Structure 1
Amino acid sequence: MQFDFFNLFLVFFLDAGQTWNINDETQTLVPKSDAGIGFQFGESDSFLRFNVAKAFESEQGVQFNVLWFHSF
């Protein structure tokens, strides 16, 4: 197994979506959204990514996450 993390990418993203209870009779559309930036090392078959995001509709602070992906 070889890991080549020589390529560095800067990734900007917007995310929006909604969840709902199918048993609830009143289904209103109130989507939530956030925006962020990620630093990605590697390419499509093997990469490590660090994301920083902030929700638009929430009082939460900035969210951090790390993602590692490797395709076999």
Structure 2
Amino acid sequence: MAKAAANQQVKTLALDFQRANIPASTLAFEPGFIKTKLTGWRGRVDIEESCKGMVDIIEKLTPEKSGSSVDWSGETIPW
């Protein structure tokens, strides 16, 4: 339920910003299954790779993509 609420808030903020002509964008990220001590180093993605992917997405974010949910590689996550 918390994840659904967070996703809806991202979408709602994007629509509110658009209606108010506020030049801001929102995005929900799923960083991936990261190789960390917490995951016993069994993750599929290095933290550096995930972070770089998310930064690249943020740098290319357009108003049309605002309010969406994506993973660290830019794939859209439907919900």
- The TM tier, using the shorter chain, reads under 0.3
Higher helix share: 2
Query: Could you state the TM-score of these two structures normalised by the residue count of structure 1?
Result: 0.26
* Greater relative contact order structure (CA < 8 Å, 6+ sep): 2
Higher strand share: 1
Larger Rg over CA atoms: 1
